[in-house]
Amino acid sequence: MTVALREAYAYCESVTRRSHSNFELALSLVLRPRRQALQAIYAFCRLADDAVDLPGRAARDAIAAVDSLRRRLREAFAGKPDGPLFIALLDAAKRFQIPLPRFEEIIDGVSMDLDRGRYPTFEALLSYCHRVASSVGLACVHVFGFRDRFALEAAVDLGIALQLANILRDLKEDAELGRIYLPAEDLKRFGVSEQDILQGRCTPQFLELMKFEVARAREYFDRGERLFACLSRWIRPCPIAMACAYRKILNSIEAHGYDVFTHRVRLTRSQRTLVLAATALRTVLAGRSYHLIPRSLS
């Protein structure tokens, strides 16, 4: 590995470590060079998010930032990476055969936040979730290594599950930005108005809506977690830790009576430790019936 490439991956690692996110927790369970590739993917996602959500950034500047990001991504895949992030991302994409559309879909997803703050149906929301989350999962599966397309289908469902948990956890913060991700058809079904969400009214109707949305997210976790059996035991801890962490978010929302307006759900240090312990146990239990020869790292 050249000095420039080593420094590029070190940059992506620093971005991941500073995030203190659940993704950073999961990546701690992966060995090099796969961990480095996953950190490059995370750093790219962080840059994409910041393009539209950086505090104080005007809409016009956000559009320009997204356009610049798309240009830099395509130039990187054309062999002209601009900066350490794209040097690392290009190397990871080549090493693990991650196609360009995976990353372009992520940009398409964050771009939806620039011109759409509402989703009329769950199908419309699924399109958003697929771009901002499932596309990330699909890129990660290339790094994990897989033997059939069933893994890709499960990764899509797991990505949707993680994004739905994010939406429910961040409902208050997103509303403060004028965004309501919960489908309008669901609000209507349960008798919840947009003003209820925007003003943080925890009505009985809202609590029933949240109960429904949490149950829906768990259904996607059930489907997405089929991915684990498609992976070798030595790589499973990463997606298992992600699923455990975000299931715990749903459990915390439920434990607080579905009131996300007055209770901000965050994993404590002890909860993060429990996630790692649960991951170790699930890895052992899930690993008894599957064997995969890892793809060469050469």
Tens-binned pLDDT, residue by residue, of the chain (298 aa): 788 999 999 999 999 998 878 788 888 888 888 999 999 999 999 999 999 887 667 788 889 999 999 999 999 999 999 999 999 999 999 999 999 999 999 999 999 988 767 999 999 999 999 999 999 999 999 999 987 889 999 999 999 999 999 999 999 999 998 899 999 999 999 999 999 999 999 999 999 999 999 999 999 999 999 999 899 888 888 999 899 889 999 999 999 999 999 988 776 666 766 776 677 666 666 554 433 323 322 2
Domain boundary among 48, 79, 104: 104
Residues 29 and 145 in one domain: no
pLDDT at 290: 39
How far CA 158 is from CA of 113, 170, 174, 181, 224, in Å, comes to 21, 18, 22, 18, 4
Domain boundary among 51, 83, 104: 104
DSSP letter at 147 equals: S
Domain span at 222: 116-284
pLDDT at 263: 85
Asked whether 142 and 97 are in contact (CB, 8 A), the reply is yes
Instruction: Give the chain's domain count.
Output: 2
DSSP letter at 229 equals: G
**Residue 276 falls inside a structural domain:** yes
**Residue 111 falls inside a structural domain:** no
Distance CA 284, CA 33 (A): 23
Question: Nearest to residue 37, comparing CAs of 90, 81, 77?
Answer: 90
Residues 8 and 41 in one domain: yes
pLDDT at 135: 97
Residues 93 and 221 in one domain: no
